[in-house]
Amino acid sequence: MKDDNPGSPIGIVLLNMGGPDALEAVEPFLYNLFSDRDLIQLPLGALLQKPFARLISRRRAKMVVENYRAIGGKSPLLRWTSVQAQGIAARLGSAFRPYVAMRYWAPRADEAVARMKADGVERAVVLSMYPHYTGATTGSSVKDFRRAAVTLHPNLKYRVIEQWYDWPGYLDALALCVREGLESFPEELRPLVQILFSAHALPQKFIDRGDPYLEHVLDTTRGVMKRVGNRSWRLGFQSRSGPVKWMEPDTVEVIDQLAAEGRQAVLLVPISFVSDHIETLHEIDIEYRAHARAKGIAHFARSPSLNDRPEFLTAMADLVRQEVENWR
């Protein structure tokens, strides 16, 4: 695409899932999530998707509210994504302006696009904050952004970065997190630590239809381990729910296997998440840690999330910079 206006500001739009900003927002957030047929195709077709979504979100909200209450009463995802957007833009220079578009809670794509139009932004790089591509996450968010752009800012020119699972700077930053996690163990235990990568699960039908998500996750784990060194590692998939066939193995099942093997030290590395949110702060830090200890694993830790680590923000800025240079 030719850059017809090289002097105008360039928007940096980060796409992410979003999360409730208060306990009262949990149920409507879940409703938005379950209403998205790109993510979850409830039975009996599109016509009944929203009634089913209403029912399921109402039933699940009570439990999920307590999970959010345990981590401070809201999701930190917007805060971290906003910090990441600002950090990336700052590294690129004053011509770049940061925006955030969440899929299932505010600020939504409509708001981000409207803000860019009001700010006089005619060009943008749209960056999915899911490193590994699947139509259920990146695909849905990009589709939503495109809809908003056509409706609210049809003159906006933009390029989309949909995947970056093998971007060297990302792998370098994630490897640093793994090394930091290993250093949290007593020195005498470090050679014995079992690394367990945990990615967000997808229904198996997404993989069967050709989504490259599993291949991307595996490429990332291999790239990280090349940097970390010759150590034992496993891969599991977390956050499975509902009566469908999911990707295997479940992270909990891998923890059980490690316990049965007599492993006493496990480092869990969240690999499909680039910032802390409910799956790291509650599912891993509270639920999985308690489960591992109950199974006899005495030393269980999680590697730190990428969040606002300088190495990660620099890597993402370099990725965006490459995209802008290719645009010209």
**Nearest one of 198, 166, 167, 164 to 181, comparing CA atoms:** 198
Which residues contact residue 222 at a Cβ distance below 8 angstroms, ignoring those fewer than 6 apart?
none
Collapsing DSSP to helix, strand or coil, 42 comes out as coil
Predicted pLDDT of residue 6: 58
Which residues contact residue 120 at a Cβ distance below 8 angstroms, ignoring those fewer than 6 apart?
8, 9
For the question of whether the overall pTM of this predicted structure is more than 0.75, the answer is: yes
Domain ranges in the chain are 10-164+311-327, 168-302
Distance between the two ends of the chain, CA-based, in angstroms?
7
Predicted pLDDT of residue 246: 93
Predicted pLDDT of residue 12: 98
- Active site residues per annotation: 17, 33, 39, 103-104, 200, 276, 279, 283
Q: Which amino acid is at 106?
A: A
Distance (Å, whole) CA 256 – CA 187: 25
Residues in the chain: 328
- Please give, one letter per residue, the 3-state secondary structure of 43-91: CCCHHHHHHHHHHHHHHHHHHHHHHHHHCCCCCCHHHHHHHHHHHHHHH
Predicted pLDDT of residue 49: 85
Q: Does domain 10-164+311-327 have CATH number 3.40.50.1400?
A: yes
Predicted pLDDT of residue 1: 39
Asked whether 68 and 23 are in contact (CB, 8 A), the reply is yes
Residue 122: CB atoms within 10 A of its CB come to: 18
Parallel, antiparallel, or unpaired for β 157-161 and 299-302? unpaired
For the chain, list residues with pLDDT below 70: 1-7, 42-45, 242-243
Predicted pLDDT of residue 2: 47
Q: What is the CATH number of domain 168-302?
A: 3.40.50.1400
- Cross-strand pairs, 234: 196
Asked, colleague to colleague, whether 10-164+311-327 and 168-302 share their fold, the answer is yes
Q: Which amino acid is at 190?
A: R
Distance (Å, whole) CA 8 – CA 120: 8
Distance (Å, whole) CA 135 – CA 141: 9
Matching residue, tokens 């039975």: 43
